Amino acid sequence: MRRNRRVKILATLGPSSSDQETIEKLYRAGADVFRINMSHTDHALLNTLVGRIRAVEESVGRPIGILADLQGPKLRVGTFADGSVMLENGAPFILDADAAPGTIDRVHLPHREILEALQPGHRLLLDDGKIRLVVQQASATRANCIVEVGGKLSNRKGVSVPDTEIPVGALTPKDRKDLEAALDAKVDWIALSFIQRPDDLAEVRKITRGRAGVLAKIEKPQAIDRLPEILELSDALMVARGDLGVEMPLERVPGLQKQITRAARRAGKPVVVATQMLESMISAPVPTRAEVSDVATAVFEGADAVMLSAESAAGEFPVEAVETMDRIAQEVERDPNYRAIIHAQRAEPEATGADAISAAARQIAETLSLAAVVCYTSSGATGLRASRERPSVPVIALSPVVGTARRLSLAWGLHCVVSEDAHDEEDMVDRACRISYSEHFAKPGQRIIITAGVPFGTPGSTNMLRIAFVGSDGRGGI
């Protein structure tokens, strides 16, 4: 199966889409990678979902990526004696370490680390930002606040602290267990939530030890401030616009989306744009015009993937949501302005042989109107370099490692094929031509360009370019 677009679609599985039949329908509709949200998934269900995705993978004959999204630290207030209170603008309100039921004057905050880190002037955003408090006085056991924006506050509503760096890691005890379970299940990507500092990623990398790619979700102001260091330690980024829009002014989110996307593209690392992309399709068979424009903007910007959350996990029209996103992406990529925008944002290659070869392959392929760029990639690094170039011709990533092919299914423009490594140069050309022909990228008489590393089978040694003709039987020729 060949996609008619370069951007990838990441679909979240949930109550509406957990059975194998629906997962296969979602894949055939356009989903390239499936997200499993560990906030709502126990380990038994995780293993079941992974098994179903792998069964679909076998059915369709294509590598499919799986992303396990860790919950991260969920900060919540305690409970109220009457279940809820109505906070008035300008009223005093206390958050404290007392576990007694809350009243109109105070509530328990069962996170000592927040109380210890708060300072006068810091904001607390409750219930997804609907209620805003400002700290007047703070100690290790209580924070005296003024209600800046009031409203109804009920039991266990979420707390965000955009001005406060909490001195705890992003991995909770639950996350550690979920991470080990996900690695045992052989997922391809681990998404880490509520990152504040590069150290949060270092801890996860130490546990994963290369068994899965590490994707950093950018959703806190502290992460924006340290984006270069976080990008350095991660394998991919996600623009998590939901929490980002709670913790920062909403009007800043579109600019931050572009900033994060471009930073990831310069680094040659996949970037996913997520949250509320087709939100109305949770309950409607068609999206709003604004949602269509939102998806289109992410595609025009050159994001590697666009993500569906509740639309595919719990919505009434999961398959239709994927089909809609697929159609939007295809239409954008046909737009005459698309190539000009993508080209204008192309980063200069780094001063390495592998980067220079990937850049040259793209330029030669476009100059000679070749049918495809074929790259042999064992670790995935060469595939990501080819993707970073954003060529106008198709890119086929051949890997002998099934895990690499699955992981690369998140990267822009890569058509991943699992194939054993070439034995020699003749086999390299022949294999590349046959796969280009059988996967319907090249016809007899057309030419392809191949990048590979010599000696063959050595990861990270891309040092060869070769132009080859596809013969009448699909085999290669010089």
- Pairing verdict, β 8-13 and 305-308: parallel
* 367 CB neighbour count, 10 Å cutoff: 8
Q: What is the SS3 string spanning 6-54? A: CCEEEEEECCCCCCHHHHHHHHHHCCCEEEEECCCCCHHHHHHHHHHHH
Report the first-to-last Cα separation within the chain, whole angstroms: 28
Catalytic residue among 3, 25, 76, 262: 76
Residue 351 in contact with residue 454, Cβ under 8 Å?
no
Cβ-based burial of 366 (10 A; exposed 0-12, middle 13-18, buried ≥19): middle
Catalytic residue among 5, 6, 8, 35: 35
Least Cα distance to 138 among 109, 108, 179, 95 occurs for 95
DSSP E strand boundaries for 316-446: 372-376, 395-399, 414-418
35 is catalytic: yes
CA distances from 235 to 7, 182, 268, 272 (A): 18, 17, 9, 12
Q: Could you tell me the two tokens for 155?
A: 């039991």
Residue 450: which residues within 8 A CB-CB, separation 6 or more? 374, 375, 376, 428, 429, 432, 464, 465, 466, 467, 468
Q: How far apart are CA 321 and CA 306, in angstroms?
A: 12
Q: Could you tell me the two tokens for 297?
A: 């903007």
Least Cα distance to 390 among 265, 288, 248, 218 occurs for 265
CA distances from 371 to 394, 444, 449, 460, 472 (A): 7, 10, 8, 25, 15
Q: How far apart are CA 193 and CA 171, in angstroms?
A: 8
Residue 143 in contact with residue 137, Cβ under 8 Å?
yes
52 is catalytic: no
Catalytic residue among 12, 164, 261, 275: 275
Residue 67 in contact with residue 217, Cβ under 8 Å?
no
Catalytic residue among 6, 217, 388, 431: 217
275 is catalytic: yes
| Residues annotated as part of the active site | 35, 76, 217, 275
